[in-house]
Amino acid sequence: MMTELKRIIKAGFINFTRGGLVSFAAVLVVTITLSVITFIVLLQAVLYFSLGQIKDKVDVTIYFTVGAPEAKIILLKDSLLKLPEVKDVTYTSAEEALKLFRERHKNDYPTIAALDEIGTNPLGAYLNVKAKEISQYESIANFMKGDNILVLGSESIIDKVNYHQNKLVIDRLNAIIAGAQKLGFLITLLSIVIAIIITFNTIRLTIFIAREEIGVMRLVGASKMRVRGPFMIEGVIYGVIATIITLILFWPATAWFGRNMTPFLGLDIYDYYISNFFQIFAIILSSGIILGVISSFLAVRKYLNK
C-alpha cells in the first residue's frame, strides 16, 4: 500500500510539471479563488468589528432617585448580573455623576453657577447595563418593570429607565446588524459556489488533456484509485502553491490597507492579518486543498465511468 501511495504521489508531481501552462492556469485560478476567500474573511472581520463597536455604544441606563441607598442599588446590580442576557453592569455613584456633569458643562457658566447656587447634589446614581446582544435589551427592560419588589420591599428608588427613549434606535440597529450578517453569509456562500465552479472547470480542462492516458490505464486494468489518485495529488499541489502565493500577495496588500484605511475601517487590517495569520493560513490551505481534490475527483469521474 505504501509503495502504491508513493507511486500515486510521484505520478501527481509528474502530471503537474508536465502540465506546463495548463498547470500554471489552474494554479492561477485557484489563487484567484483563494484570494476571494481571503478577502471575504478580512471583510467579515471589518464587518463584525464595526458591529461590535456599534453594540458597545448601546446600553440601557437606570437612573435612581436622589438619596437612594447605595446598598439597594448594589443589590439591583447583582441581580442584573445574574441575568443570562446581561454582559456587564457599571455603577456610577451620585458623587461621580456630579463630577462627570461638571466636566461636561465646564464651559457652560450659567449651568455651573446654578449648580453652585443649589448647594447640594441634585443628581442621583445610575447603572449602565450592557446586553450580550442588542435584541436582549427589551427583556432586560421588562425585568426592570417587576424588579422594584426584589430590590426595595417598599417604595421605588428607580427614577427612570431610558430604554423606551432609545427603543427606536436599538430596534433599527438590531435590524441593521441582522441584515448585515445575513448579507455577509449570502455573499460568502455565493463566492464559494462561484469559486468551486471556476476551479472545477479549470481542473477538468487539465484532465481532459490526459483523457487518452486515462483510457489506456483503464484498458490495462488500473484501479480507479490508481487513475484518480495522481489527479487528486495534482489538485493538492494546486491548492498548496496557490495558498503560498495568496498569503504572499495579501501581506503587502494588508500592510497598505493598515497604513491608509484604518481611520475609515476602524480596524487595522494588517494587525488583524498578522495576529490571525495561522488561522487564516489554515482556512486558506484547507480551502485550496479541498477545492483541488474535490474538483479533480469529480472531473476524472466522467472518464472512469466510460
Task: Reply yes or no on whether the pLDDT at 125 is more than 50.
Answer: yes
Q: Are 253 and 269 in contact (CB under 8 A)?
A: no
Q: Are strands 158-161 and 60-64 parallel, antiparallel or unpaired?
A: antiparallel
pLDDT value, residue 250: 92
**Which three three-digit cell numbers place residue 175?**
435590524
- The whole-angstrom separation of Cα 234 and Cα 291 is 11
Q: In the Cβ-directed half-sphere of 224, how many Cα atoms lie within 13 Å?
A: 10
Residue of 204, 296, 230, 266 whose CA lies nearest to 6: 230
**Contact at 8 Å (CB) between 82 and 150?**
no
Distance in angstroms (rounded) separating the CA atoms of residues 40 and 287: 13
**For 133, which DSSP code?**
S
Q: Report d(CA 123, CA 147) in Å as an integer.
A: 22
pLDDT at residue 192 tops 80: no
pLDDT confidence of residue 150 = 47
Domain ranges of the chain: 2-54+174-304, 66-156
For residue 138, what is its C-alpha cell? 427589551
H-run or E-run covering 38: helix 21-57
Q: What is the pLDDT of residues 137-182, one digit of tens each?
A: 878 877 776 544 444 444 577 878 777 666 777 777 777 777 777 8
Q: Give the span between the Cα atoms of 16 and 237, in whole angstroms.
A: 8
* Residue 287: alpha-carbon gap to chain centroid: 17
* Residue 228 pLDDT > 80: no
What average pLDDT is seen over the chain?
79
Most confident of 106-120, 254-268, 275-289: 275-289
Under the banding of pLDDT at 50, 70 and 90, the label for residue 281 is very high
| Residue 119 dihedral angles phi and psi, to the nearest 5° | 85, -20
Q: Look up the pTM and report it.
A: 0.66
**Out of 3.40.50, 3.30.10, 3.30.70, 1.10.287, which CATH number does the structure's domain 66-156 have?**
3.30.70
Contact criterion met (CB below 8 Å) for 208 and 303: no
Model confidence at 306, in pLDDT bands (50, 70, 90)? low
- Residue 300 confidence class, pLDDT cut points 50, 70, 90: confident
Closest CA to 224 of 6, 8, 2, 3: 8
* Most confident option among 45-49, 174-178, 212-216, 248-252: 248-252
